[in-house]
């Protein structure tokens, strides 16, 4: 019996039990749709993180105090005071591949304008910080070196702070706010950047001279960090090594001593986030793929029922000359058809749900050809794998016993 006739017989058998076939496909449909949607969300998140980090500058280096030991206990990095202005001066002087550098002093508190107040962090930086972080000024100006030297009480505001203190659309340049009871003149407004890939609001920020924050707001002598950018991306690793060598010399660390600071490049951060996102994507896809296994078990179950129901039909066909291979092929075709039709519906549902997620929830979504091809490949494998045993059982029936089956 040729393949075309076997295909027609298999298709007729499925059409005659449409509702049962649809229910059998349901597990495959849900599984394929889930796999495509989960992979799309995972790939979209990964790309979003890459784009976000690229916007911050791929040649940026972040230097932060490292956890050190005090009386046998390891302290958290936030509580250490291993970075000071002499470290900043040494890096600026001894690292030729560093193009821009800025100290970082952080403060937390309430910004106040009249009866309105808003919780926001203040970052103390210098004039290089804007170029390092790829920030732009929408109106007003950046503070000057003179204002840094005199610890002037001036600041730049992000859009979120402006909206909550002054209202949307207001230009606060020239006006004043209080931060932890200290008055600051607003001299500039930052161009909005929106949320980053981790959902953090990049516009909920106040920039001020680092000397002002250090002396007037938090009253400390050390730095919370140092931000730098290299001359170009190709020398990032070289610049990182220069910074590490300089700081170890500054801190008089022996060869056996661990660093009491951390130097992170954007590439390291990108690799870390990408690997984390990849693991989560695979985990989500595996969880979604369980539906495919459930769907495959459903196919096997229905094929067993089908073999039992059509035992007499199988016996008659074998009695008039159908070979065991023909019976095996027919039932395999039925199983694969169920998988492929269910897979096709699942692909459409998965693609559609991905578009809905992107347009309604505004999550980053990327649908790849690989996920669709993989889904169809898995569907075919599922149909053959779970349909083989019932088909083999049908092919091995004895014609005489099959005809006598009640």
Task: Report pLDDT digits (tens) over 83-107.
Answer: 999 999 999 999 999 999 999 999 9
Q: What percent of the chain has pLDDT over 70?
A: 83
Cβ contact 8:324 at 8 Å: no
CA distances from 111 to 24, 124, 135, 161, 259 (A): 60, 15, 21, 8, 36
pLDDT reading at 1 higher than 60: no
Last residue of a domain, one of 201, 233, 259: 259
pLDDT at 191 over 80: yes
Q: What is the pLDDT of residue 243?
A: 93
Is 67 among the domain residues? no
Residue 71 domain-assigned (yes or no): no
Greatest Cα pair distance, the chain, in angstroms, is 104
Name the residue range of residue 177's domain.
83-259
Dig out the tokens for 22 from the structure.
């649809």
In a domain, 265, yes or no: no
Tell me whether residue 46 is in a domain: yes
**75 in a structural domain:** no
CA distances from 298 to 56, 112, 290, 293 (A): 50, 63, 12, 9
Q: Are residues 142 and 290 in the same domain?
A: no
User: What pLDDT is stored for residue 393 in this prediction?
Assistant: 72
Range from 98-112, 199-213, 296-310 that averages highest in pLDDT: 98-112
When pLDDT is averaged across residues 190-213 and rounded to a whole number, the result is: 84
Residues 252 and 301 in one domain: no
Asked if residue 25 is part of any domain, the answer here is: yes
The number of distinct structural domains making up the chain is: 2
For residue 263, give the DSSP letter.
E
Of the CA atoms within 13 Å of residue 347, those in its CB half-sphere come to: 17
58 lies in a domain?
A: no
* 210 and 166 inside one domain: yes
**Mean per-residue pLDDT of the chain:** 81
Confidence check: pLDDT of 68 > 60: no
Clarify whether residues 111 and 227 are in a common domain.
Answer: yes
Residues 17 and 90 placed together within one structural domain of the fold: no
Buried b (16+ CB within 10 A) or exposed e, 270-299: beebbeebeeebeebbeebbebbeebbebb
pLDDT at 378: 76
Among 238, 259, 280, where does a domain finish?
259
Residue burial 12-50, b: 16+ Cβ < 10 Å; e: rest: ebbeeeeeebeebbbbbbbbbbbbbbbbbbbbbbbbbbb
| Judgement on whether residues 335 and 290 belong to the same structural domain of the protein | yes
What's the confidence (pLDDT) of residue 332?
A: 78
- If asked whether residues 133 and 250 sit together in one domain, one would say yes
- Please report which confidence band the pLDDT of residue 245 belongs to, taking 50, 70 and 90 as the band edges: very high
Higher pLDDT, 336 or 118: 118
Do 117 and 239 belong to one domain? yes
Tally of CA atoms within 13 A in the half-sphere of 179 that contains its CB: 29
**DSSP string of 110-172?**
EEEETTEEEEEEEEEE-TTHHHHTT--EEEE-PPPHHHHHTT--EEEE-HHHHHHHT-TT---
Cβ proximity of 180 and 217 under 8 Å: yes
Same domain assignment for residues 231 and 284: no
Residue 157 in any domain: the answer is yes
In this structure, the number of other CB atoms found within 10 A of the CB of residue 109 comes to: 18
- Answer whether residue 350 shows pLDDT above 80: yes
Residues 88 and 140 in one domain: yes
**Structure-block tokens of residue 66:** 């490292």
| Model confidence band, residue 317 (pLDDT cutoffs 50, 70, 90) | confident
pLDDT at 73 over 50: no
Q: Are residues 255 and 139 in the same domain?
A: yes
Is there a single domain that holds both residue 126 and residue 236? yes
Which of 259, 281, 301 is the C-terminal boundary of a domain? 259
């Amino acid at each position: 019996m040729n393949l075309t006739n076997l295909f027609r017989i298999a298709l007729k058998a499925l059409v005659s039990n449409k509702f049962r076939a649809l229910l059998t496909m349901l597990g495959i449909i849900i599984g394929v749709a889930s796999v495509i949607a989960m992979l799309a969300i995972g790939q979209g998140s990964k790309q979003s993180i890459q784009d976000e980090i690229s916007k911050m500058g791929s040649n940026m280096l972040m230097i932060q105090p490292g956890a050190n030991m005090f009386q046998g206990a390891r302290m958290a990095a936030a509580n250490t005071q291993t970075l000071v202005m002499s470290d900043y001066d040494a890096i600026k002087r001894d690292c030729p591949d560093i193009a821009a550098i800025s100290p970082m002093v952080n403060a937390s508190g309430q910004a106040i304008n009249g009866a309105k107040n808003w919780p926001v962090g203040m970052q103390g930086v210098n004039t290089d910080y804007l170029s390092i972080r790829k920030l732009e000024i929408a109106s007003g100006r950046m503070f000057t070196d003179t204002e840094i030297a005199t610890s002037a009480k001036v600041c730049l505001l992000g859009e979120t702070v402006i909206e909550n203190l002054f209202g949307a659309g207001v230009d606060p340049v020239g006006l004043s706010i209080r931060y932890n009871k200290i008055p600051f003149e607003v001299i500039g407004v930052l161009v909005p950047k929106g949320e980053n890939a981790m959902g953090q609001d990049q516009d909920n920020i106040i920039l001020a001279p680092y000397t002002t924050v250090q002396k007037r707001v938090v009253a400390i002598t050390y730095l919370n960090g140092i931000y730098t950018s290299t001359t170009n991306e190709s020398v990032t690793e070289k610049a990182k090594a220069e910074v590490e060598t300089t700081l170890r010399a500054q801190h008089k660390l022996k060869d056996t001593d661990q660093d009491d600071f951390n130097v992170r490049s954007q590439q390291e951060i990108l690799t870390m986030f990408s690997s984390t996102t990849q693991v989560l994507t695979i985990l989500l896809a595996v969880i979604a793929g369980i539906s495919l296994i459930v769907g495959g078990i459903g196919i096997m179950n229905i094929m067993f029922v089908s073999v039992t129901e059509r035992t007499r039909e199988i016996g008659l066909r074998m009695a008039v000359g159908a070979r065991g291979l023909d019976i095996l092929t027919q039932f395999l075709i039925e199983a694969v058809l169920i998988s492929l039709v269910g897979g096709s519906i699942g692909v459409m549902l998965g693609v559609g749900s991905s578009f809905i997620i992107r347009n309604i929830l505004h999550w980053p979504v990327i649908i790849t050809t690989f996920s669709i091809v993989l889904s169809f490949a898995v569907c075919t494998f599922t149909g053959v794998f779970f349909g083989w045993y019932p088909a083999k059982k049908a092919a091995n029936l004895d014609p005489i016993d099959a005809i006598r089956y009640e």
